[in-house]
Amino acid sequence: VAAGGNAWQGVRQLSASARYDRALAAIDQMAGVPAADQQAERRRVVEGALRAAQTARRVAEDLQRTRTPQYQQGVAAQQHGEQQQGAGRMRQAVTAYMTARTHFDQAFPGNTANATAPAAGTDAATPPTAPSEAPAPAATATAPGVDLSTWSTAEAHAVITAFAGAYGSRDIAGMRRIWPVIDPAWEAEFKEAFATKGELVCVFEQTSATRTSDQFVVTARLLTQLPDGDQRRRSLVITLEPQRDRLVISRIRVR
């Protein structure tokens, strides 16, 4: 691959979609790029893979899944990645970090990667209006100096996974960690659902995340189901903004 006016565009697109191993391979195939620049870009890719693993780890910790075998496997894989990174073995480090993220994602119920939606019932003729009618909460202030160009959509998808996990485990504190200023109508819905007995279902489908200069926007279909079988299906637009070293939800809009 010859270097052009924007030699790194393809590499950074691969990193942004969490395909870090392919990003490294693309760097190796570049021609006409100084070795020092290639190495700097490799470090950038590895740091992105590490950050994605760290984000998934924080989600598991926030949902108190640190005693699960998957969490322990994730810690071991992350530590192995850090050792490989310290030794300058970038490809092995990326592989380990990607493995760690997978383990952390699997550490709690409600993981959207493995969730299977139940058979769909008939959607209500009138869609629920409470979440869509309520005023939007105040947006979370963007952390100063945060360069979202170094963040991948993996961080955004980790927040969606955390939402499903907190809902399924009736963890309102966990929900507040990822959505600090919950819309009052949504909070009322959560409290009503969490007061029930039996299995709660929360599945995100057709999830897509895009990054702008100062936020991520996720579009998705959300299916929730109460123990009595009552289902809700909604198309959502979820806005995520950085708060210190993590992404949090600032707004959810029903389309």
CA distance 50 to 68: 21
For the chain, where are the E strands, in sequence order? 201-211, 216-225, 231-243, 246-254
Collect all residues with Cβ–Cβ distance below 8 Å to 169 and sequence separation of at least 6. Answer: 63, 108, 109, 110
Q: Which top CATH class is 130-254?
A: alpha beta
> Where in the chain are the domains?
9-105, 130-254
Residues 108-146 have pLDDT tens digits of 655 544 333 333 333 333 333 333 333 344 444 444 455
pLDDT band at 249 (very low <50, low <70, confident <90, very high): very high
Residues 67-107 have pLDDT tens digits of 888 889 999 999 999 999 999 999 999 999 999 988 888 87
